[in-house]
Chains A and B, each alone.
Chain A
Amino acid sequence: MDNKTPAVTMRNITKRFGPVVANDKVWLNIYRGEILALLGENGSGKTTLMNMLSGIYFPDEGEIAIDGKEVVIRSPKDAFDLGIGMIHQHFKLVDVLSAAENIVLGLPGKLDLKAASEKIRAICEAYGFEVDPNQKIYNMSVSQKQTVEIVKVLYRGADILILDEPTAVLTPQETDKLFAVLRNMRNDGKAIVIITHKMHEVEALSDRVAVLRHGQFIGDMPTKTTNAQEMTNMMVGHPVVLNIARPEPKDPKPRVEVKGLTVRDIEGTLKLDDVSFTANSGEILGIAGISGCGQKELLEAIAGLDGTREELIGKDPLSIQEMGVSLSFVPEDRLGMGLVGNMDLSDNMMLRSFRRGRSVFTDRKTPHQLAETVVRDLEVSTPGVSTPVRRLSGGNVQKVLVGREIASAPTVLLTAYAVRGLDINSSYTIYDLINRQKAAGVAVIYVGEDLDVLLELADRILVLCGGKVSGIVPGRGAKKREVGLMMTKLGGEQAHE
């Protein structure tokens, strides 16, 4: 493989954002007929590097060569012309248009949907996609939308594909399907780069791994010759222990009882249908389900946020908060809830506590100290506590949020996607924090997307499917396959509500 000309060579690439060096003299080769896994902790510059390849950013220094020829990529259009296509974490599709319309959107020439549909079908057949060109985007599942994104770049003739955390939103079954398609494309001679945090995916899929750490290129090697432990150590820079502890719950007592919870959204669509369960103290209740099956609504209902009229105990968010229920909720948009991006760390720390005391003025000292404690204990990498939160990388934002929620000494901790997009080291820090809360007798409700982790971490797993409880299984001894099937069991009936 080494004697081939690389499809892409990135030489000495440097990119700075203000004082932050996102990429520091990075060298990277991408070959055709190969799947490259790009690894690195949060904020190590993986996405930035790929964004420069796809024309979203322009490198401050360094050169990019395609098939040995030096090129300048000034815009996504330049990238397309060079055959580079990127599938972003957040889909860039127009909801009210059909798959075919989205795919041809922005292409020059006459609009001929029929011919386009033909070409789309041909692409699907070649690689094993399942796309109905006439289906509207808003009727699609997340996995279907992702497929449309991939077909879109293939339609434009891309033969260098970059996928940024493509499996974050997929079920195990969907992930398998995606991987099969990616392998087909590799065998067809395309160059594929996949950014992911999940080690077992790297091992299952990739031919070669490249590791970035703090914006620097650390090394690359064939996947066969390495293992999860070694890759993690390279990413983090020192040896890490990859074990999730699951101590037996101590003296579990019912803390939150949910009975017959039904939630409709503003349009009246049924989001949760007659959900009942009990969360015990000193126990982690995992919630599994395909994204959008009511996990978000469930947590919001417990936290007393709007969207639910079936009030649990008829209390508003503030009084529920005072009862010790704490929601560390990380929606798709990390900063959307729980943190204020433009405020600095210490101002964010007082979001929950600023009302304390009778004074009309805010107490700035305590939050400042709390911020410093969180930064120190959770190893948040930040220039200081006066840095606006939006300047931090995703993982660090997450640590700040979880750190604050835990500091409020909750009796019920709700977390959703607590490790979404987090690198492996930060993820284990978060698991550890959650376990410590469990040991302290907190009832933890953990909505997760990585089924492997849920199976290792949770004492019991509640599986949601289309807003209904598909079943509650004990975490110890549960089979991934079984839970995966429970996630989709009711899918057929509920798809068109």
Chain B
Amino acid sequence: MNKKTQDPLFHIAKRSSLPWTLSWAIRGGALILALLVCALITTLVTGEDPIQVYVAIFKGSFGTSRKVWVLLQNIAMLLCVSLAVTPAFRMRFWNIGAEGQALIGGLAAAACMILLPGKLPNWAIIVCMTVSSILAGAIWGGIPAFFKAKWNTNETLFTLMMNYVATQLVAYYCVVWESPKGSGNIGVINLNTQIGWFPQIGSYKYLLNILIVAVVCVAMYIYLNYSKHGYEISVVGESERTARYVGIKVDRVIIRTMLLSGAVCGLAGLLLVGSTNHTLTPTIVDGRGFTAVMVSWLAKFNPIWMILTSFLLVFLSRGAGEIATNFGLNQSFGDILTGVILFFIIGSEFFINYKLIFRRPAGKED
């Protein structure tokens, strides 16, 4: 019997599918656990009252109606970039160049706003901005896809490198178009004429963006799940050999999908420049191209779930900013809390898929 001490303490076994109530209970439990751990860290490290901190985090997103609008706008922009990378991810094409694709889209939009006034009417300029930024994003996404399809280059490195090219290009044009001279910044473009500015719906500055992204989200969901293209993307992602065997032209699917991915990124850049900020800086995309990777993965590449995951990430980052100012804490502290919460949420997926079987107590052996 003393041999039994060799038995491993626990072993891992795959679960049968859980009823959704239980899996959500596990996720909820993970969130509560995360909040408890965060509270503990807060008390130990800063001496602040964790409840106050949580209230501040909540207020950071929902405190005033302005804050709610900013929250929605940020969700929309993050969601837009996440939607863009998702078709590529479903194809197992690791596009981490969304940052650059969105930036180059923004650059195209800004170029139209700066160069075209006086030559074309305002509506034509807006059409030009839309077409050119979507095209620019598509080209930026299409280049790595072309190389991948023809010569099987590594898409992760390629798309990543394209980010730096885009950033440097934008930095260059920021100097070329600087205003006022010597500032190195573009400043607000067409501040007086408002040429190329997207129209506002009523008094809601961000509503247009939010509506556009909502439409893109639903369209992407339908495209991926119900269209023939979407089906081809899934097959290519799962097995290129199978795809080739059933007569899918893999090269064409890769390029087509990345053109789409880049185009939606370009749209995100357009919205940032034309509708929200009316300016261009090398950091205008603000890392969303990378956060989008997380949004997309967390939602398991489902566009509808991505609304939730992008909310979660934006909510946490806004909360982090809020406690940084309210409590005089470093912004990094907010990031620590964000990290802890994400760790628990992602970790809970393990317990949804697997269960631990513990060693049976020795007394129960027969």
Q: Interface on A for B, CB 8 Å cutoff?
A: 16-19, 58, 60, 69-72, 74, 303, 305-306, 316-318, 321, 327, 329, 335-343, 347, 350-352, 354-355, 359-362, 364
Closest Cβ neighbor of A355 among chain B residues? B228
Contact B231 A350 (CB under 8 A): yes
Given contacts A340-B235, A343-B234, contact A327 B245 (CB under 8 A): yes
Please provide the chain B residues from 7 to 22 with a CB less than 8 Å away from any CB of chain A in the complex: 7-8, 11, 13-17
B227 and A362 form a contact (CB under 8 A): yes
Bound-state Cα–Cα, A339 to B226, Å: 19
Q: Which residue on B lies nearest to A352, using beta carbons?
A: B246
Nearest 3 A/B pairs, CB to CB: A318-B247, A19-B16, A18-B16
- Is A340 touching B239 in the complex (CB atoms < 8 A)? yes
Task: A339-B242, A354-B231 are known; give 15 further A-B pairs, CB within 8 A.
Answer: A16-B13, A17-B14, A18-B14, A72-B8, A303-B245, A317-B245, A321-B246, A321-B247, A337-B245, A341-B238, A347-B231, A351-B235, A351-B242, A361-B227, A364-B226
B241 contacts chain A at the CB level, 8 A cutoff: yes
Q: Does B3 contact A (CB under 8 A)?
A: yes
Pairwise interchain contact A342-B238, C-beta atoms closer than 8 A: yes
The A contact surface, by secondary structure, is loop
Instruction: Report the Cα distance A305→B245, complex, angstroms.
Output: 7
B234, A317: Cβ atoms closer than 8 Å: no
With beta carbons under 8 angstroms apart, the residue of A58, A306, A318, A338 that contacts B8 is A58
Minimum CB–CB distance for B69 against chain A, Å: 36
Q: Judge whether B242 and A19 touch: CB under 8 Å.
A: no
**B252 contacts the other chain (Cβ, under 8 Å)?**
no
10 contacts across the A-B interface (CB closer than 8 A): A18-B16, A60-B357, A305-B244, A305-B245, A317-B244, A317-B247, A335-B239, A351-B242, A352-B246, A361-B228
B residues neighboring A (CB under 8 Å): 3-4, 6-8, 11, 13-17, 226-231, 234-235, 238-239, 241-242, 244-247, 357
A19 vs B15: C-alpha distance in the bound complex, in angstroms?
A: 7
User: Which residues of B sit under 8 angstroms from A303, Cβ to Cβ?
Assistant: 245
The answer for the CA separation of A303 and B234 in the assembled complex, in Å, is 23
Which listed residue, B4, B230, B242, B247, touches A336 by the CB 8 Å rule? B242
- Residue pair B13, A351 in contact (C-beta under 8 Å): no
Residues of B within 8 A of A18 (CB): 14-17
Contacting pair B244 A60 (CB below 8 A): no
CB atoms of B247 and A316 under 8 A apart: yes
Question: Which among A19, A342, A351 has the greatest number of chain B C-beta atoms within 10 A?
Answer: A351
Which A residues are CB-close (under 8 A) to B244? 305-306, 317
Partner of A360 from B4, B14, B227, B247 at Cβ < 8 Å? B227
Closest to A59 in B: B11
Give Cα A18–Cα B6 distance, bound, in whole angstroms.
Answer: 26
- Point out the residues of chain B lying under 8 angstroms from A350, CB to CB: 231
Minimum CB distance partner of A351 in chain B: B246
Given contact pairs A316-B247, A318-B247, A360-B229, A336 touches B16 in the complex (Cβ within 8 A): no
Which chain B residue lies CB-closest to A327? B245
CB-contact partner of A72 in B3, B231, B235, B247, under 8 A: B3
CB A345 to nearest CB in B, in angstroms, measures 14
A351: B residues at CB distance < 8 A:
235, 242, 246
Chain B residues within an 8 Å CB radius of A336: 239, 241-242
Bound: A312/B16 CA distance, A: 48
Name the contact of B228 in the complex, choosing from A58, A71, A352, A360 (C-beta under 8 A).
A360
Given contacts A18-B15, A351-B235, A362 and B226 within 8 Å (CB-CB): yes
Which residue from chain A places its CB closest to the CB of B12 in the assembled complex?
A: A58
Complex: A72 Cα to B2 Cα, angstroms: 12
Q: How far is the CB of A390 from chain B (nearest CB, A)?
A: 10
- Would A58 and B11 be within 8 Å (CB), given that A335-B239, A336-B239 are in contact? yes
Q: Which residues of A contact B8 (CB under 8 A)?
A: 58, 72, 74
Contact assessment for A72 and B7 in the assembled complex, using a CB-CB cutoff below 8 Å: yes
Which of B13, B235, B247 lies at the interface centre, i.e. has the most chain A CB atoms within 10 A of its CB? B247
- Interchain CB contact under 8 A, A362 and B231: yes
Q: How far is the CB of B300 from chain A (nearest CB, A)?
A: 12
